[in-house]
Structure 1
Amino acid sequence: MKNKVREYRKQNKMTQQELADAVHVSSRTIISLEQGKYNPSIMLAYKIALLFGTTIEEIYCLEENKKLEDDSSED
């Protein structure tokens, strides 16, 4: 799933470990999130969005991801 976790983390001058500590997950989880290899639970998505003062929809590009999913299901 495409997301803006890395972008928001860098804007806030945080390391992956600092973000992981702030939301109580491992740094591997943050790495996987940033690479789009892991879809977070709704609670983790909420914690990250709250930490960065944005919405889940914005940080996880939900409209864009839905469009990509819809387009791929048409094939």
Structure 2
Amino acid sequence: MTTTSYLVKGMTCDHCAQSVRSEVGGLAGVQRVDVDLPTGTVTVTSQNALADAEIAAAVDEAGYEVVSRA
């Protein structure tokens, strides 16, 4: 298992968090996606390490932007 956290810009509500969970959670190998709205942190747990670009693309598809790794 691999766990990586990212700072995501633009999330403000539960709907935002659910959109990100849905898009990132749909990536192959993702086991869990946790979103902390107050800090803008998205923590992804997956079977194997995922490319940062892959996570960023999924977050972008949800309408938000990965700023950096947390």
* TM-score > 0.5 by shorter chain: no
User: TM-score, normalised to structure 2's length?
Assistant: 0.38
Q: Whose Rg is larger?
A: 1
User: TM-score, normalised to structure 1's length?
Assistant: 0.37
If asked which structure has higher relative contact order (CA below 8 Å, sep 6+), I would say: 2
More strand by share: 2
More helix by share: 1
